Structures are given as C-alpha cells and as structure tokens.
C-alpha cells in the first residue's frame, strides 16, 4: 500500500520527560504522522466519508500529547501510534515521529526524537 495521508510538524504542548521539571511545565513537541490507507474510493468519489479525515487524526494526536505524561518519547510515540490505529479501521499502518523541541541538553541541538511504525 503506497497511498498515505501525511501530517507534518503538528505542534503540541505536553509534559513528557525524565526530569521533574519536564513533567511539571509544558514544553513544545513536534509530530509527523504518516497514515497508510487505501484512497481508491476517495479518489473516485471526492467525498470525505470515503477516506480517513486527517483533522481527526491530528486531534487524536494532540489529545494524547496534551494528556497523560510519559517519561520516554518511546512510550509517547507508541501510545500515539496505537491511538491513531484505533481511530479508523481503514488505516492499514501508521508511522509517528515525535520530536522534543527543547531537549534538556547542554549542547546546541534543534530537537531530539523517535519514530515508530505500527500496522494491523
């Protein structure tokens, strides 16, 4: 399956990290979501009901990031992928990239992150 929906650089505030201060004060995260879905019907009909609504995917992802606090980006990314897969049964696979935009490092780094992929 090559058809996919892509959401790039969705910015969401969350409280994730190992350090206490990361879990007490919200910080920005950037998400990329790739969702594999058969688009043949949507291409024929030009109707939203025949595809997966990327607005719903973005909302689900934002709610997960803004919700429960995770220590590890790996845990957050896994939870995001699982939540997205159950959002719509037409999704065949999802790939989620989570970037921490202000990582607590004493080095000049733009972001740190992880990427996970889940499929049915």
The pLDDT tens digits for 67-93 are: 999 999 999 999 999 999 999 999 999
Contact 37/56 with Cβ under 8 angstroms?
Answer: no
CB neighbour class for 6 (10 Å; exposed up to 12, middle 13-18, buried from 19)? exposed
Return the CATH fold of 4-119.
GTP Cyclohydrolase I, domain 2 (3.30.1130)
What are phi and psi for residue 25, nearest 5 degrees? -125, 125
Q: Which of 30, 73, 100, 116 is catalytic?
A: 100
pLDDT grade for 50, boundaries at 50, 70 and 90 = very high
| Domain boundaries of the chain, sorted by first residue | 4-119
12 pLDDT above the threshold of 90: yes
The reported pLDDT for the residue numbered 104 is: 87
Q: Convert the pLDDT of each residue in 24-36 to its tens digit.
A: 999 999 999 999 9
Q: Is the pLDDT of residue 44 over 80?
A: yes
44 is catalytic: no
């Amino acid at each position: 399956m090559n058809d996919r929906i892509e959401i790039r650089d969705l910015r969401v505030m969350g409280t994730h990290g190992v350090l206490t201060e990361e879990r007490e004060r919200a910080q920005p995260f950037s998400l990329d979501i790739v969702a594999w879905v058969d688009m043949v019907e949507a291409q024929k009909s030009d109707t939203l009901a025949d595809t997966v609504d990327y607005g719903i995917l973005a909302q689900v992802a934002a709610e997960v990031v803004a919700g429960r606090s995770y220590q590890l980006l790996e845990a957050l990314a896994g939870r995001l992928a699982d939540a997205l897969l159950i959002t719509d049964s037409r999704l065949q696979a999802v790939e989620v990239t989570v970037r921490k935009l202000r990582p607590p490092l004493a080095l000049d780094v733009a972001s740190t992150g992880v990427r996970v992929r889940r499929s049915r």
